[in-house]
Amino acid sequence: MIKIDRKVLGILDKAREGHAPGKEDCIHMLSFHEISPEASLIRATADSLMRSKFDNNGMVFAQIGIEIAPCPASCKFCSFGEGHTSFGTSNMTDEDILATALNFTESNELYALFLMTMHNYDYDKLIRIVRMLRNKIPAETKLCVNIGDFDLSQARELKAEGVAGAYHLARLREGIDTTLDPKSRNASIKNLKEAGLDWYYCCEPIGPEHTPEELAEQLLFGREFGGCFQHGAMNRIYIPGSPLARHGQITELKLGQVTAVVTLAMLETEATKTIGVHEPNQIGLTSGANTIYAETGANPRDTREETSTNRGRDIAACKKMLFESGFSHLLTSPDKRLPLKNIN
Ligand code: SF4
């Protein structure tokens, strides 16, 4: 009989009874090699618990990167970081943003549409775009933002203008591999929670150099402030010439293992309604994630200005990946789901 670490079996038994692992348990699960039987069992358990928690519903979100500029955050993992980027400055026009948003939302299948900016962004312009889009895209499609830091009054204004949520986090080694202060990033999270926005969080950007302790610490932050609406895991994409390129990239299998630990860690968090895996892949979608993103425009993990020509997937490709991963339905709003078919 195959031997499985007894401590892992104990953690997974407790998870099946509804108890989320603590920090030491997460560190332990993350310390196994991704090809170990323990890692496979952790992924399988997270997968089955997630499917019953989310009723085997998959979800598709989309993101439009509305601008590109050498970004002063200089994140060493990002293709836009000032000091190592080869991109200049370019902005999508309002017309292009509107056309792209309508294209993404016309089939009424997206749960939410995100607008993404660099760390520095023009707040008034963002509000203008939110106003332009909010009445034009379907009312049931949530509009969300992935932007730099913001204060409480801005978070409240975004909410009042119809923004439903914001993606925000202090990333792995924030302040070391970036020029940003993790305290400012976390202050924005407090602001968005206080304003009543949904909090989108993620364990990212994971590279081979991150230790199980670092990963556990960062992923468990998603349970703070009452918990995030969306959690997930994202690998760092190898970008030639970027300062962290020397470390290489983790495998999708390792990403699946972290996704599974995230899923187990959020078992008892009522607020968490979706688990993402970025870049989208089927290992993640069979390891606890039920959510992937379609992307267009700027993408920090891409070396092309328009990600839909390279890394970004469209909605049809996302639905196909969800179907192939065994999801029976697509959740398009809190109360509406559509059957997933093999020819979507
Ligand atoms: S990850 Fe975001 S904040 Fe960091 S350099 Fe890239 S665009 Fe700027």
CA of 166 to the centre of ligand 1 (A): 15
* pLDDT reading at 301 higher than 70: no
301 vs 91, residue with greater confidence: 91
Task: Please give the number of the atom of ligand 1 that sits closest to the Cα of 118.
Answer: 7
Residue 120: inside a domain: yes
Q: Which pLDDT score is estimated for 239?
A: 87
Q: Are 322 and 83 in contact (CB under 8 A)?
A: no
pLDDT digits (tens, 9 = 90+) for 238-269: 888 889 999 999 999 999 999 999 999 999 99
Q: Which pLDDT score is estimated for 178?
A: 96
CA of 81 to the centre of ligand 1 (A): 6
* pLDDT reading at 119 higher than 90: yes
Residue 341: inside a domain: no
- Which pTM does this prediction carry? 0.96
Residue minimizing CA distance to atom 7 of ligand 1: 118
Rounded Cα–Cα distance for residues 16 and 322 (Å)? 24
User: Is the C-beta atom of 21 inside 6 A of ligand 1?
Assistant: no
User: Is the C-beta atom of 207 inside 6 A of ligand 1?
Assistant: no
Q: Are 113 and 271 in contact (CB under 8 A)?
A: no
- Cite the DSSP H helix spans in 210-337: 212-220, 252-265, 282-285, 315-324
For the chain, how many structural domains are there in total? 1
Mean pLDDT of the chain: 94
Residue 61: inside a domain: yes
Residue 338: inside a domain: no
Task: Determine the residue of 119, 147, 184, 234 to mutate for testing ligand 1's pocket, defined as the one with the most ligand atoms within 8 A of the Cβ atom.
Answer: 119
User: Is the C-beta atom of 205 inside 6 A of ligand 1?
Assistant: no
Q: Which pLDDT score is estimated for 242?
A: 87
Residue type, 58: G
Task: Please give the number of the atom of ligand 1 that sits closest to the Cα of 300.
Answer: 6
Q: Are 86 and 304 in contact (CB under 8 A)?
A: no
Q: Which pLDDT score is estimated for 118?
A: 95
Structural domain harbouring 259: 6-333
Residue 131: inside a domain: yes
CA of 156 to the centre of ligand 1 (A): 24
Q: Which pLDDT score is estimated for 240?
A: 86
- CATH number of the domain where residue 242 is located: 3.20.20.70
* pLDDT reading at 297 higher than 90: no
Q: Which pLDDT score is estimated for 147?
A: 98
| Two tokens, residue 138 | 């379907």
* pLDDT reading at 344 higher than 60: no
Rounded Cα–Cα distance for residues 276 and 331 (Å)? 14
Q: Which pLDDT score is estimated for 313?
A: 80
User: Is the C-beta atom of 133 inside 6 A of ligand 1?
Assistant: no
CA of 71 to the centre of ligand 1 (A): 6
Q: Are 69 and 118 in contact (CB under 8 A)?
A: yes
User: Is the C-beta atom of 71 inside 6 A of ligand 1?
Assistant: yes
CA of 149 to the centre of ligand 1 (A): 12
Rounded Cα–Cα distance for residues 81 and 153 (Å)? 28
Rounded Cα–Cα distance for residues 45 and 39 (Å)? 10
Q: Which pLDDT score is estimated for 51?
A: 98
CA of 285 to the centre of ligand 1 (A): 26
Residue 343: inside a domain: no
| Two tokens, residue 61 | 């979100």
Residue 319: inside a domain: yes
Residue 344: inside a domain: no
